[in-house]
Structure 1
Amino acid sequence: MPILLLRNKDIDLISGKRNITIRRLWKQPLYVGDRLYCYWNILSKEREKLFEAEVTHVDILTFDEIIHDPGLPAKLGYKNSRELEKDLRKTYPNNTTPNDEFQVFEFRKLHVTQWEGSAINQKNTIIKKADVLFEMGEYEQSSLCYQAALEYDREDSHLLNRIGDNLTRLGQFGDAIKNYRKAIKIEPDNEYLYNNMAIAYLNKGDPEKALKMSTEALKINSRNTTILYWRGLIYEMLNDFEKALKFFDYVLKIDDTDPDVWNERGTILNMLGKSEEALKSYDKSLELCLDDKKDSNTWASKANTLLGLERYAEAIECYDNALKIDDSNPIILNNKGVAYMELDDFESAIECFTKVLVMYPNNPDAQVLQEVCLENL
C-alpha cells in the first residue's frame, strides 16, 4: 500500500490543480494501477488521509536527467530547473548524485465510493487545512484549498466568503467581490457577506460603492456592531467626520467594550478639532486593549494629540510607551524627536533621529530633522 505524504507546499496536488509529482525512488517502486493513500502531515497529531488515488503513469529518471529536462519543472509546479534542483537537494540531501533515481508519477483521485480504506469527509478535511493556512497568513494556499473544497459543493456560501476573504488579503479586491456576490445569491439574508463586500470596495478605493453595500447589510441587521463600525470607517474615508462619529457613538451605545471603536472615535474627534475629547477616547481604548500592536498605535495616536496640544513632556511619555512595544517604528521615533525639539532638547532629538537613520538610512524626515537639530546646537 504506497503512501504519499503531502505538505503545505503540495497544495496544488491537494486542490487538484496538479496531478503529477516527484519522489525519491522507493524500495518498492510505483507501477501504473497502484493505489495511493494520500495523507497530510502523517507524522503529526493532525495527520489525516486526504484521498485515495490510482497511479496512471510512472517515469524513473536520474537526478541528472531531471535537472536537465527543460519541460519538467513547470509540470511539477516549479518556476525553473534551478528551483527544482534546489528543492530536491534540500529534501533529499543524500540522494542527489547524477545517477540517483527518482520516480515522476501521475495519478487520478478516486471518488470516496471507490476507496479501499476508511472513508473521511474530504470536504471538511480540506476546509480544516484551509483554515489553518488562513490563520498562518498563507492566503494564496488557503484560497486554493477552499477552491478544492468548493468542488464538493458549489453552493457553499461559507466557502465562497472565505475565498473572498483570502483574495481581499491578497489585494485582489475585484475577484473577492465576485466571490462575495456568488455567496449573496446563495444566502441573500447574510449581512456579513454585504459587509465583507463593502470592505473589499473600501480597500479598492471606492467608498461610494462600499457605502451602498453597507446600507444593504444594515437593512438586514441595523444593530450589528461590526457593520456599524465599518460604516463609520467608510464615512471617515469619505471625509464625513460628523457621520463617522455618529456611527462610532452608536456602536458604543450598544457595546462600549471594543478598543478599536474607541481608538477610531479618538481619530475622528481629532479631525473635528476636539483634541481633549480625543484623549479621553484613547485612554478608554488603552484601558480595554489586550493587543500589544494595537496598544502601540493607540499610545502613538494619543502622543500625537498631546503634541498638537503643545503638551510635549506628556507626549514624550506616550511615545515611550508606544516604543516599548514597537521600538523600531520610524514614525514614532521621528515624532518623539519633534517633541524634544519643541522643548529645545536638541541632543535628545538627534538621538531619536539617529536611531531611525541606523535602521532606515534613507528616511527623509529623519535626515532633514537631524540637520535642523545640528544647526541649533
Structure 2
Amino acid sequence: MGFNIFKNRKVDKLVIKGLQYVDDNPALALEYFNKALDLTPNYGVAWYNKGNLFYRLGKFNEALEHFDKSIKLDSNDMNHWYGKCLSLYALERFDEALKCYNQALSIDDKNALIWYGKGNVLSDLKRFDEALECYNKALELDPYDTGKLNNRGNMLKELNRLDEALECYNKALEIEPEDALILDNKGNVLSDLKRFDEALECYNKALELDFEFAYAWYNKGSALNNLNSFKDALKCFSKVLELDPDDSDAWAFKGSISNKIGHFKEALEYLEKSLEIDPEDEETWLEKGKVLQKLKKYNESLECYNKALELDPDFEEALEAVENLSKFVEFWSTNQS
C-alpha cells in the first residue's frame, strides 16, 4: 500500500514533509499530517496518509478510523478502500474485509493487489474455491508475482489438487529460486504425494537460505519421521523448540516419536509439556493414553482416551482405544481371579 497523490497544493508541502519522516520518525510525520488537517480538515489525502502511517505502525483500529474518514471525503478513490480492506483484514474482521474488497473492485477490477487481497480473505474464511478464482484473476493481471503464485499453490493444495499445486510452486521458483517459504511449501506438497526424499531436498534448501525457519525444521522432521529416520527427526523438532519453546505440536511430535522407539518416560514428559501449552488437542491426549497403556497404567490411560473423546466425541481412534483397553482389562481381571 503506497501513500496517496496530492490534490490540494495549500497543504501539499506539509504532507510531503510528513512523508519524508514516515520511516525514520513516525511521530514527526504524524505531526505534519495533523498540521495539514488543521489547515484543511476535509483533505482526504491527508486522512489517507495518516491512516497509512497508523497501519504501518500496527495500530489497525486507528488506521481504520482514518480510512473511513478519507472514504467519506472521496469514496471513489480505490486506495482509500484498499487501506480499509487491509486494516479490517489485520483485525481479522474477515466478513467486513470481504465487503470492502468487493467495493474496491467495483471501482477498479483490473487491480491485481485487490484480487489478491480478496483471495487472502476468502482463504481465511475457508472458501478455497473462491479464493483460487481470485488468485487466478490476480495472476492474469500480474503473472510473474511469486507471492500470488505461492498463494495459488496453497489453495490448490487445500483443494487436494497436488500436482497443480506443485506446478505452481515450480513456476514461482523459476522466477525466484531462493525463496525459502515457497521451497517449504513445495516440500509440503511433495510430502503429501509421499515423495519424502524430494521433500527433504526442498526443506534442506529452505534451511540453507534461512537456518532459523522453524516451519521448515518442523516439516523436515515430519518427513524424516515418515522415512523412519527417528533420531534425525527428533533433532529437527528439538531445533523447532529452540526457536519456539511453546510449539505444542513439536512437543507432541517428539512424544510420538519417543513412544515409537520405546522411550516411554521421555515420551510422557514431552506429551505432558505439549498438553500444558494446548490442553485441547485430542490427538495428544490419545498419544499420552497409548504411552500410559504401554507403561501398564491402565486407569490413567483410560482417562486420557476419555479426555480425547470429550474434545471430539466422534474421534474413531480414541473410541477404538477405549473399547480395546476395556476388553483387555476385563480379560486380564478374569484371568487374575
Deviation at 1:153, TM superposition (A): 2.5
Residues 166 and 189 of structure 2 are in contact (CA less than 8 Å); yes or no, is this contact kept in structure 1?
A: yes
| In structure 1, C-alpha distance between the alignment counterparts of 2:198 and 2:288, rounded to whole Å | 32
Inter-CA distance 269–360: structure 2 relative to 1 (3 Å threshold): closer
Matches within 5 A, 1:54-133: 119=74, 122-133=77-88
Residues 67 and 84 of structure 2 are in contact (CA less than 8 Å); yes or no, is this contact kept in structure 1?
A: no
| In structure 1, C-alpha distance between the alignment counterparts of 2:139 and 2:282, rounded to whole Å | 42
Deviation at 1:147, TM superposition (A): 1.8
The equivalent residue for 2:283 is: 331
The equivalent residue for 2:113 is: 158
Matches within 5 A, 1:1-377: 45=62, 46-48=64-66, 50=68, 119=74, 122-289=77-244, 292=246, 295-361=247-313, 363-371=315-323, 372-373=325-326, 374-375=329-330, 376=332
Deviation at 1:359, TM superposition (A): 4.4
| In structure 2, C-alpha distance between the alignment counterparts of 1:252 and 1:179, rounded to whole Å | 31
| In structure 1, C-alpha distance between the alignment counterparts of 2:315 and 2:209, rounded to whole Å | 43
Q: SS of the counterpart of 1:133?
A: helix
Report Cα offsets for 1:14-43 as digits up to 9, x if no partner: xxxxxxxxxxxxxxxxxxxxxxxxxxxxxx
Report Cα offsets for 1:130-177 as digits up to 9, x if no partner: 223323444333222112112332222111111111222333333322
Inter-CA distance 342–183: structure 2 relative to 1 (3 Å threshold): same
Inter-CA distance 339–259: structure 2 relative to 1 (3 Å threshold): same
Report Cα offsets for 1:247-283 as digits up to 9, x if no partner: 0001111111111110100000011110010000000
Deviation at 1:364, TM superposition (A): 4.1
| In structure 1, C-alpha distance between the alignment counterparts of 2:194 and 2:306, rounded to whole Å | 36
Aligned positions, number: 268
Task: Letter of the 1:178 partner, please give it.
Answer: E
**Which structure: larger Rg?**
1
| In structure 2, C-alpha distance between the alignment counterparts of 1:183 and 1:361, rounded to whole Å | 42
Inter-CA distance 317–234: structure 2 relative to 1 (3 Å threshold): same
Q: SS of the counterpart of 2:107?
A: coil
Report Cα offsets for 1:203-233 as digits up to 9, x if no partner: 1111111111111111111001111111111
Q: Which sections of structure 2, spanning at least 5 residues, go unmatched?
A: 1-60
Report Cα offsets for 1:298-334 as digits up to 9, x if no partner: 1111111111111111100000010011112211111
Report Cα offsets for 1:316-371 as digits up to 9, x if no partner: 00000100111122111111011011111112212322333444455444444334
| In structure 1, C-alpha distance between the alignment counterparts of 2:309 and 2:186, rounded to whole Å | 39
The two structures have a TM-score, normalised by structure 2, of 0.72
CA RMSD of aligned residues (A): 2.5
Deviation at 1:127, TM superposition (A): 2.3
| In structure 2, C-alpha distance between the alignment counterparts of 1:238 and 1:359, rounded to whole Å | 30
| In structure 1, C-alpha distance between the alignment counterparts of 2:161 and 2:317, rounded to whole Å | 31
Residues 150 and 168 of structure 2 are in contact (CA less than 8 Å); yes or no, is this contact kept in structure 1?
A: yes
Aligned residues: percent identity? 26
| In structure 1, C-alpha distance between the alignment counterparts of 2:91 and 2:67, rounded to whole Å | 22
Residues 49 and 120 of structure 1 are in contact (CA less than 8 Å); yes or no, is this contact kept in structure 2?
A: no
Inter-CA distance 318–222: structure 2 relative to 1 (3 Å threshold): same
Task: Letter of the 1:161 partner, please give it.
Answer: Y
Deviation at 1:50, TM superposition (A): 4.0
Residues 50 and 122 of structure 1 are in contact (CA less than 8 Å); yes or no, is this contact kept in structure 2?
A: no
Q: SS of the counterpart of 1:47?
A: helix
Task: Letter of the 1:269 partner, please give it.
Answer: L
Q: Which sections of structure 1, spanning at least 5 residues, go unmatched?
A: 1-43, 53-111
Residues 51 and 122 of structure 1 are in contact (CA less than 8 Å); yes or no, is this contact kept in structure 2?
A: no
The structure with higher relative contact order (CA 8 Å, sep 6+) is 1
